[in-house]
Chain A
Amino acid sequence: MGLFHPGTSLVHRVPAGVKLAALCAAGIGSVFAATPVGVSAYLAAAVLVLVVARVPGRALVRQLRPVLVFVVVLAVFHALVSGPGRAYVVVGMLLALVLLATALTMTTPTSALVDVVVRVAGPLRRVGVDPERLGLLLALGLRAIPVVLGLAGEVRDAQRARGLGASPRAFAVPLIVRSLRHADRVGEALAARGIDD
């Protein structure tokens, strides 16, 4: 998921709620557009949105790199199992939706997204859900991405420094421990800021 890149483009100026609704509509619409032509239209639309938003290409690539690896693997798999045509439809649609979601998060401040979620979830108050809490959850989730990526980098470096090879377990355990410790501290900081009151 992308992080906000400030700007003044048309895409930046569309209200967050409209963008979120459009993304949802695109997600639902994708079910009915699962043809080569439909996918091409989706991809073209996604690229158009990114161009209009003037999202810097380098930032986009950096944010999408982890997803792209996954997309390539998926594409190869589908091409082998069900043929290139099917691979194009499935993977192309996935890619288009990822691009649209990235365009949303890169052109919309998180607080605006949080506000939309809080507003939309307002009626849930009656069944005991606190909309502010849902919004907070979204913000914390987005904020956690760079932190966990940073922790992962630290763990990897620590392993290299000790001359350890790539062992998934030696990587996962310290990463999980650090992430949990981080979560603990975040919880404490939230409590200190009176979030639970």
Chain B
Amino acid sequence: MLIEVDGVSHTYGDGPLARTVLRDVSVRMTEHRIGVIGANGSGKSTFARLLNGLVLPTAGTVRVDGHDTRTDGRAVRRRVGFCFTDPDAQIVMPTVREDVAFGLRRRGLAKHEVAARVGAALAAYDLAGHADHPAHLLSGGQKQLLALASVLVTEPALLVMDEPTTLLDLRNARRVARVVADLPMPVVLLTHHLDLLADFDRVLVFEAGRIVHDGPPAEAVATYRDLMTRDQP
């Protein structure tokens, strides 16, 4: 998996309301576990959304395994799974099993293959006992695992997660983190939970739309803490 972000700037809106949130960001990513940290509003979510074409850069290019998100969005979205903060917004179908199956609807798979894949995903993420329960009755942690299962059942080559543990309590956050640690595909994880990044290969620190630090987790977290305790300019 190769992610190439090349000279990317991004501005939301135009005219007097224009707001530039990423400024000339360039980074090449091949690592298995990549963390992204930074203050509120520093541009992390915008950066993450660039990686699957949910946001197209105002300038520069983003390529995933050679596919440009601007010209080849469909191919990119097939490769890149995305997990959001709020599980309620990601769950589409009323019951657990149906939601996991939903992602496979248009893949042209035979019924028994869908059932097999869904069953395997439910078992893998500890949801088999809730297969036919209404999704809204699950706990927050279970909902997030369901959202994750629904994305992973389509077997993405890369998973991008925007603060998947922010709404969860410590126990559920750990559960989700354990699942993420065992995933076979590369993961880009945005988070304010710095302890989740301890085993990561590489951590990017964002500040005011730029990558201000790029390195192993201990260093990056130290830089970030330092940045956050400095007086506001």
Binding site for B on A (CB under 8 A): 3-4, 6, 109-111, 132, 136, 139-140, 142-143, 146-147, 150, 182, 185-186, 188-194, 197
Tell me the smallest distance from the CB of B48 to a CB of chain A, in Å. 10
Q: Which of B96-153 contact A (CB under 8 A)?
A: 98, 101-103, 105-106, 132, 134-136, 150-151
- Chain B residues whose C-beta falls within 8 Å of the C-beta of A197 in the assembled complex: 73-74, 77-78
Minimum CB distance partner of A6 in chain B: B132
| Docked CA distance A136–B54 (Å) | 20
Other-chain contact of B92, A6, A182, A188, A190 (Cβ < 8 Å):
A190
Closest B residue to A110 by CB, please name it.
B94
B82 at the interface (CB under 8 A from A): yes
Q: Does B90 contact A (CB under 8 A)?
A: yes
CA distance A143 to B150 in the complex (A): 15
Interface residues of chain B, those whose CB is within 8 Å of chain A, are 52, 54, 73-74, 77-78, 81-82, 84, 86, 88-95, 98, 101-103, 105-106, 132, 134-136, 150-151, 154
Decide if A132 touches B77 in the complex (CB within 8 Å): no
Q: 7 smallest A-B Cβ distances: which pairs?
A: A185-B89, A146-B136, A192-B82, A189-B90, A6-B132, A197-B74, A194-B77
Whether the Cβ atoms of A132 and B132 lie closer than 8 Å is no
Q: Compute how far the CA of A189 lies from the CA of B146 in the bound complex, rounded to whole angstroms.
A: 14
9 CB < 8 A contacts A-B:
A132-B105, A139-B94, A139-B98, A193-B103, A194-B77, A194-B154, A197-B73, A197-B74, A197-B78
Whole-angstrom CA separation of A197 from B82 in the bound complex? 15
Residue of A nearest to B82 (CB): A192
CA distance A140 to B90 in the complex (A): 11
Distance in angstroms from A183 CB to nearest chain B CB is 9
Of the candidates A109, A140, A189, A194, the one whose C-beta lies within 8 Å of that of B95 is A109
The reply to whether B54 and A192 contact each other, CB–CB distance below 8 Å, is yes
Q: A143-B92, A194-B74, A197-B74 are in contact. Are A109 and B98 (CB under 8 A)?
A: yes
Q: In the bound complex, do residue A4 and residue B94 qualify as a contact, i.e. CB atoms below 8 Å apart?
A: yes
Instruction: Say yes or no: B95 contacts A185, CB within 8 Å.
Output: no
B95 lies within 8 A of A182 (CB): no
Instruction: Known pairs A188-B54, A197-B74; list 10 more (Cβ under 8 Å).
Output: A3-B94, A4-B95, A109-B98, A139-B93, A147-B136, A185-B89, A189-B82, A189-B89, A191-B54, A193-B82
Residue in chain B with minimal CB distance to A142 = B94
Report the minimal beta-carbon distance from B63 to chain A, rounded to whole angstroms. Answer: 18
Residues of B within 8 A of A192 (CB): 52, 54, 77, 81-82, 84
Contact indicator A132/B92 (Cβ below 8 Å)? no
Chain A residues near B95 (CB-CB < 8 A)? 4, 109-110
Closest CB of chain A to B180's CB: distance in Å? 17
Contact B93 A110 (CB under 8 A): yes
B95, closest chain A residue (CB): A4
CA distance A146 to B91 in the complex (A): 12
A194 to B134, CA, bound (A): 24
Please indicate the chain B residues that have their CB under 8 angstroms from the CB of A4 in the complex: 94-95, 132, 134
Query: Cβ of A3: which chain B residues have Cβ within 8 Å of it?
Result: 94, 134
Closest to B160 in A: A192
A151 to chain B, nearest CB (A): 9
Contact in complex: B77, A182 (CB < 8 Å): no
Contacting pair A111 B93 (CB below 8 A) = yes
Residues of chain B with a CB closer than 8 A to A142's CB: 94
Query: Is the pair A186, B54 in contact by a Cβ cutoff of 8 Å?
Result: no
Write out the residue numbers on chain B whose beta carbons fall within 8 Å of the beta carbon of A188: 54, 84, 89
Instruction: Tell me if A111 and B89 are in contact (CB < 8 A).
Output: no
Residue of A whose beta carbon sits closest to that of B73? A197
Q: Which residues of chain B have C-beta atoms less than 8 A from A111's C-beta?
A: 93, 98, 101-102
